[in-house]
Amino acid sequence: MSKNLTTRAEDYSKWYNELVVKADLAENSGVRGCMVIKPYGYAIWEKMQAELDRMFKETGHSNAYFPLFVPKSMFEAEEKNAEGFAKECAIVTHYRLKNDPDKPGKLMVDPNAKLEEELIVRPTSEAIIWSTYKGWVQSYRDLPLLINQWANVVRWEMRTRLFLRTAEFLWQEGHTAHATKAEAIEESEKMMNVYSDFVQDFMAIPVVKGLKTETERFAGAEETYCIEALMQDGKALQAGTSHFLGQNFAKAFDVKFANQEGKQEHVWGTSWGVSTRLMGALVMTHSDDNGLVLPPNLAPIQVVIVPIFKTEEEFEKISLVVNELVSQFKKLRISVKFDNRTTQKPGFKFAEWELKGVPVRIAVGPKDLENGTFEVARRDTLSKEVVSKDGIVSYINDLLETIQTDLFQKALYYRKEHITEVNSFEEFKDVLENKGGFISAHWDGTPETEEKIKDLTKATIRCIPLDRKEEAGKCVFSGLESAGRVLFAKAY
């Protein structure tokens, strides 16, 4: 199979677009800005979902489901939130089509079927969920409410890219309600940590935990926690956010509870989400010019076995050995595929599985049968080794763990190499242009400076790292006092 993949050095953006399509992850649909997630891509997303869902339940959350639509009056109740999403939302205005009298066989919107109140297709569900919580919360005994939803949401983005920015995307959104401010803040931080553990341990992507500035904060939140990752082209990608909502939504939707003294108080809220955007981060962190590189934890196929044969007889002998091996892998819950297609040559198969990022490839030919060996190839390093039949299963099992760790270490090394401290705006621009990555710089804390830097350089403040040193300094742009460094970057 011919890959014809643009290289990252040639055009990183093009490389990404091509890879997502050629590796069968997703494609553009006939609906503007909406993607089709193909079976191979969806299988990866399912693995993410399963692990996240497990983590949410382990931390006490339950799943539920809330309506797709938000009536306009409900949508506008929390003003900042509404303002933040009003400019890019899909609006349902009618509920019936009828035959077009002028065009036989065609349909038209029936003007007599206009909704009394327009419905917004949820861009996020705070409004609909908090309007429901009002009925669920009476007393402190009803709190905390710890609920998550797996759903599709729609944001009418003008410039879309597969996984990274699509009009419709899939995500989970947690929405919790608490009796105290401290509890709600604790929850926001806990979920940021759940995300960070998931992205680092499961996706092998290192992240920086931090707080968003006011400008970059979620519309309607008091504080937004985030995890920020760094892609191979030196651009940052926001991988997950967790919001402390204060009492904003509780006040907008009048959600009160009787505390232990019987006094009415507004509850405190959080919301947090990750989306199919993570698929984009996965591709852009690990993959190379030959195609996808998948961490074993997320690979739908962890091991592929390719037989090398000329005759029917050789094929049968190899199949016998391979089938035995396959059943041993399955016992260890290693996901394995025996590529026994007779319509394709080994070279074609090698290229195809390389493109699709299968972590380990095993090849077996007549020579191997004689010697009692297998040829084992790693997708991440493209290295090959001849491994004895004895102990091959535990060898592969260990190798999958090694690959998972190595991918993280490699990405971490890249990330470390690409956090640069700068102390002047000249340096800032120079690093941004010639090296990329995160720029650690002093900032005077004003939205005005943030805005100016963005206008001049396209770099935004990705986060105020939670682990930053307290270090007095001068703002890299204005020269004014600063309490510590923040991370700037160009971002997806």
Stretch that binds a copy of itself, among 61-69, 373-381, 421-429, 474-482 (CB under 8 A): 61-69
Task: Please list every residue from 12 through 51 that binds a copy of itself, using CB under 8 A.
Answer: 27, 29-31, 34-39, 42-43, 45-46
For the CB of residue 110, give the shortest distance to a copy of itself in the complex, in Å: 9
* Binding residue for a copy of itself, selected from 17, 152, 259, 397, defined by CB under 8 A: 152
267 binds a copy of itself (CB under 8 A): no
288: left (phi over 0), alpha (psi -120 to 50) or beta: beta
Q: Which residues contact 267 (CB under 8 A, 6 or more apart)?
A: 133, 137, 143, 177, 178, 179, 247, 250, 255, 256, 257
Minimum distance from CB of 88 to a copy of itself (Å)?
A: 7
Q: CA-to-CA distance for 240 and 174, rounded, in angstroms?
A: 12
Shortest Cβ distance from residue 464 to a copy of itself (Å)?
A: 32
Closer to a copy of itself by CB, 27 or 233: give it: 27
What span, in angstroms and rounded, lies between the C-alpha atoms of 253 and 245?
13
CB count within 10 Å of CB 426 equals 10
For the chain, report the end-to-end CA distance as a whole number of angstroms.
31
List of residues 6+ apart from 254 with CB closer than 8 A: 134
Nearer to a copy of itself, 66 or 374 (CB): 66
In eight-state DSSP terms, residue 477 is: T
CB 133 to a copy of itself: min, Å: 10
Residue partners of 382: CB distance under 8 A and separation at least 6: 290
Residue 429 engages a copy of itself in binding (rule: CB under 8 A):
no
* 104 phi/psi in degrees, rounded to 5: -55, 135
Of the candidates 1, 55, 68, 321, which one interacts with a copy of itself according to CB under 8 A?
68
Q: Residue 101 is encoded by which pair of tokens?
A: 């009298």
Question: Minimum distance between the CB of residue 102 and a copy of itself, rounded to whole angstroms?
Answer: 14
Q: Decide if 476 contacts 443 (C-beta within 8 A).
A: yes
Nearest-approach distance from CB 31 to a copy of itself, in angstroms: 5
Residue of 10, 11, 88, 390 that binds a copy of itself (CB under 8 A): 88
- Cβ atoms of 277 and 164 closer than 8 Å: yes
* Contacting range for a copy of itself; rule: CB under 8 A; set: 96-104, 265-273, 429-437, 474-482: 96-104
Instruction: Return the structure tokens found at 31.
Output: 């609906």
Contact pick of 19, 23, 137, 170 for a copy of itself (by CB under 8 A):
170
Q: Is 54 in the site for a copy of itself (CB under 8 A)?
A: no
Among 15, 16, 56, 75, binds a copy of itself (CB under 8 A): 75
132 binds a copy of itself (CB under 8 A): yes
118 belongs to the binding site for a copy of itself (CB under 8 A): yes
Q: Which is nearer to a copy of itself, 20 or 119 (CB)?
A: 119
Q: Crossing angle, helix 39-58 and helix 181-197, to 10 degrees? A: 140
243, 231 contact by CB (below 8 A) = no
Residues 395 and 391: their CA atoms lie apart, in Å, by 6
Across 192-318, the runs of DSSP E, i.e. the strands, are 208-211, 223-230, 236-246, 256-258, 264-266, 268-275, 303-307
By CB under 8 A, tell whether 86 contacts a copy of itself: yes
* 459 closest CA partner among 468, 449, 469: 449
Beta carbon of residue 128, minimum distance to a copy of itself (angstroms, whole number): 7
Nearest CA among 368, 375, 366, 362 for reference residue 316: 366
Q: Does 251 engage in binding with a copy of itself (CB under 8 A)?
A: no
Q: Please give the size of the binding site for a copy of itself, defined by CB under 8 A.
A: 64
* Minimum distance, C-beta of residue 474 to a copy of itself, in the bound complex (Å): 40
Q: For the chain, how big is the Rg over CA atoms in Å?
A: 26
Closest to a copy of itself by CB, 93 vs 394, is: 93
Q: How far is the CB of 415 from a copy of itself (least distance, A)?
A: 31
The values of phi and psi at residue 43, to 5°, are -65, -35
Neighbours of 87 (CB within 10 A): 8
CB of 250 to a copy of itself, least distance (A): 16
Among 10, 13, 60, 95, binds a copy of itself (CB under 8 A): 95
Establish if 458 lies at the interface with a copy of itself (CB under 8 A). Answer: no
Residues that bind a copy of itself in the complex, under the rule CB under 8 A: 27, 29-31, 34-39, 42-43, 45-46, 62-72, 74-76, 79, 82, 86-98, 105-107, 109, 118-121, 128, 131-132, 135, 141, 147, 151-152, 154, 156, 168, 170, 343
